[in-house]
Structure 1
């Protein structure tokens, strides 16, 4: 993934928090719901409602933190103070969320509700400024693709580690498969993940300098700031396409443990997750190379088509079809890495378009809104997916009815394919290519050069 103008140390330092947050995020999104329903005893519908509610909470905090970091002036920059504090506080709140007390289901639900809100607030404090830092590291069209390829490649690598780590921790510490073993497994995850969060945040903050001479956006208020984005049509096209696709993509992430256990009647969900992530990270450099030849947009569309087209076949599988499932997972994983990295690189270009229109760098606001769409998509995936599963008659730790199995097939395979198809159609109208972006940057640079020449 060689890039232009950025050292390997800068790319690795910027990518490192993405790795750490992914290592933590997969247990939060994939493994923790099953811990709280099947071990702690929280009702699945209550859990789904709490997870949906915290995403609505994010809908407010994400752009507010983004606006706050946009308007921040400090000797350490706009983004780095938030990254340093946020990563430390994520580590702290993660420990409490992963170590629930052995208590009644109602009290456990309250515990979960409190700490999931605390965790997600500090997660926003770290991730929105961290992601907002990326678009200002380089303004080069292709160097951005490479930078975000490193960042999202690290995210996939962290996800791979996260997928493997529960089984590794269980084996390393000799933990049982019973409720006590599950609790101890999450305890050790919290203990081991905290130093990783702290170290990656420190490396990024110490190594990645913020750009000087940036036109800092004034803190204008959330609604006024959002209204000011109305003229940025490329952003809204990108956001709509990404959000619809993300709704579908979050359903498999939420339901894979349920699907593998109750539809395929297998216990190897960890193996399938590893196949998917390994394929995604190995093929990501090829997608970045393709984006240099055909453009970010067309490479992204191709990745979406491959990713969703292959996965549709999963709907038709049943008990014992693990080999076919593994093949479809690998085929779908071919496009996985590109569906993460390329939209991020495209988003940096629409932020430049906003600077051309407004004269301000407002990465925080844009990343905040982007984060809302990503988290609301996950909320629909978790909240609606688990609620529909519960409504169809799901009962933990027993063979499921045909209605539940059918619902799992529909939610896990068909709905994601439809969402990706709709997202692909919308993305075809995105207008900024390399030539247009070069013109946008030239006009911005010319505007910045005018005051200097007059002063001279």
Structure 2
């Protein structure tokens, strides 16, 4: 049992709230395009499913270069606002506009529409990186305490749950407010409302973290970006954590992309997207204390294995939805949501541990590089969720259409929707369980019989 670290800095409640508010941006931008963008392109702009998947994926490839650069810039930033907060403000002033343009509904279809949406989504991804990378770097610099990081991030994840519920439920409701499956006008309205939410959340985080403590190494690493990548490459704990996180994010991304199709073609009700999403994110607000307790009881690695197994089991069981119906699907999504809540909390808590351990060992500030590389890889892998699901639809013979045209999908396409929503994510998430066994960064205050602590993993 670890004794309370009296000397460890405590993050004030006001800062926790201010930091948590920023999650309304990260959760909203992460969920709404993943939930609606593919469906918007295939069913309203007549973009072929395979091309729509590429459009969603392509801007994320840019993140592989951009995000580490933003992290590096924030590490080296010196201002009276601190190294991270100027970037939060830059993102707040650019992302809302770019997001609105993605769903502006231009009078284009097919390939021209794909080009327009792709360009706007690229701009939105760039603006989002300016905010997200420094934002994710901040927890590791707010406290030196192993378990307080989980507690701090528990607050953030509660906000993530609330934001995801509001955005994920409100966005489909707005879209469906002018028709059962929506219209171009309703998508445009949704884009404006969500853009306003993004602006408020990002400005809230900027002002709310004004008094955030800085306990990390004060000196930025003077090495160039490529040398720092070499250091990151040698950090085994970071590499394994990134690998398992990517598999989990890929599974979630596939489920998000599949949700409107699952509601429309498996449950027979496009409006069920709203209730399914509510069932997915509801546990994120309710089960955080449970996952925090499990991480203390079984350490973070043990809790992560439990969470991933819960996630995988729920998606596998959801394959029986055509037999049991809509109520069964919602119960399974609740189970899946419980697993998603655990893996999401523990991913960020473990990342903060890796960053803090690196700062303590090296005396250098490299949080931005770690989070930049992390978010770049994570975003790229997540975007492949839409691409993979688009390919599954194409293999199943899914027929794209415009808003004024409704087509009868072949049975093979309906089967592809079900498999893409259930079996594919279940198999992917199982891989993360094996990867978790290779992650060895533990609570420094917890004695493990026969094991010598290895901070590098």
Query: What TM-score, normalized by structure 2, do the two folds share?
Result: 0.88
Where does residue 339 of structure 1 map in the other structure? 343
Aligned-residue offset at 1:145 = 0.3
Partners of 2:215 and 2:89 in 1: how far apart?
Answer: 18
Partners of 2:303 and 2:294 in 1: how far apart?
Answer: 6
Partners of 1:375 and 1:256 in 2: how far apart?
Answer: 19
Q: 2:435 aligns with which of 426, 432, 440?
A: 426
Aligned-residue offset at 1:400 = 2.3
Count of residues in correspondence between the two structures = 437
Task: Report if the CA contact (8 A) 2:53-2:386 is conserved.
Answer: yes
Where does residue 244 of structure 2 map in the other structure? 241
Q: Does 1:75 align with 2:84?
A: no
Task: Report if the CA contact (8 A) 1:349-1:437 is conserved.
Answer: no
Where does residue 38 of structure 1 map in the other structure? 43
Task: Report if the CA contact (8 A) 1:141-1:437 is conserved.
Answer: no
| 3-state SS of paired residue (1:295) | helix
Aligned-residue offset at 1:211 = 4.4
Structure 1 residues 168 and 103: CA distance shift in structure 2, 3 A: closer
Partners of 1:124 and 1:289 in 2: how far apart?
Answer: 32
Where does residue 392 of structure 1 map in the other structure? 396
Map 1:113-262 onto structure 2 (within 5 A): 113-169=118-174, 175-177=178-180, 178-190=182-194, 192-211=196-215, 214-218=218-222, 220-221=224-225, 223-262=226-265
| 3-state SS of paired residue (2:178) | coil
Task: Report if the CA contact (8 A) 1:149-1:342 is conserved.
Answer: no
Aligned-residue offset at 1:44 = 2.5
Structure 1 residues 105 and 259: CA distance shift in structure 2, 3 A: same
Structure 1 residues 211 and 4: CA distance shift in structure 2, 3 A: closer
Task: Report if the CA contact (8 A) 1:351-1:362 is conserved.
Answer: yes
Query: What TM-score, normalized by structure 1, do the two folds share?
Result: 0.89
Structure 1 residues 227 and 194: CA distance shift in structure 2, 3 A: closer
Q: 1:289 aligns with which of 270, 288, 293?
A: 293
Structure 1 residues 238 and 195: CA distance shift in structure 2, 3 A: closer
Task: Report if the CA contact (8 A) 2:103-2:188 is conserved.
Answer: no
Aligned-residue offset at 1:208 = 2.6
Aligned-residue offset at 1:413 = 1.2
Q: Which stretches in structure 1 are left out of the alignment for 5+ residues?
A: 445-456
Aligned-residue offset at 1:237 = 1.5
Deviation per CA, 1:43-76, whole angstroms, max 9, x where unpaired? 3322211222111111111111111111222222
Deviation per CA, 1:166-201, whole angstroms, max 9, x where unpaired? 355468xx6344524433432442454254245323
Partners of 1:356 and 1:318 in 2: how far apart?
Answer: 53
Where does residue 88 of structure 1 map in the other structure? 93
Partners of 1:307 and 1:342 in 2: how far apart?
Answer: 14
Structure 1 residues 422 and 219: CA distance shift in structure 2, 3 A: same
Deviation per CA, 1:182-226, whole angstroms, max 9, x where unpaired? 3343244245425424532333343435448612122502x3221
Where does residue 386 of structure 2 map in the other structure? 382
Task: Report if the CA contact (8 A) 1:62-1:372 is conserved.
Answer: yes
Where does residue 3 of structure 2 map in the other structure? none
Aligned-residue offset at 1:231 = 2.5
Aligned-residue offset at 1:325 = 0.9
Partners of 1:414 and 1:436 in 2: how far apart?
Answer: 40
Structure 1 residues 139 and 111: CA distance shift in structure 2, 3 A: same
Deviation per CA, 1:355-410, whole angstroms, max 9, x where unpaired? 24433121111111211232122122111211231232111443322222222222
Task: Report if the CA contact (8 A) 2:157-2:288 is conserved.
Answer: no
Partners of 1:72 and 1:4 in 2: how far apart?
Answer: 23
Task: Report if the CA contact (8 A) 2:25-2:198 is conserved.
Answer: no
Where does residue 20 of structure 1 map in the other structure? 25
Aligned-residue offset at 1:87 = 1.7
Where does residue 34 of structure 2 map in the other structure? 29
Partners of 1:319 and 1:196 in 2: how far apart?
Answer: 44
Where does residue 351 of structure 1 map in the other structure? 355
Partners of 1:196 and 1:296 in 2: how far apart?
Answer: 33
| 3-state SS of paired residue (1:395) | coil
Partners of 1:273 and 1:26 in 2: how far apart?
Answer: 10
Structure 1 residues 212 and 283: CA distance shift in structure 2, 3 A: closer
Where does residue 368 of structure 2 map in the other structure? 364
Where does residue 325 of structure 2 map in the other structure? 321
Map 1:49-64 onto structure 2 (within 5 A): 49-64=54-69
Task: Report if the CA contact (8 A) 1:98-1:190 is conserved.
Answer: no
Partners of 2:252 and 2:229 in 1: how far apart?
Answer: 26
Where does residue 409 of structure 1 map in the other structure? 418
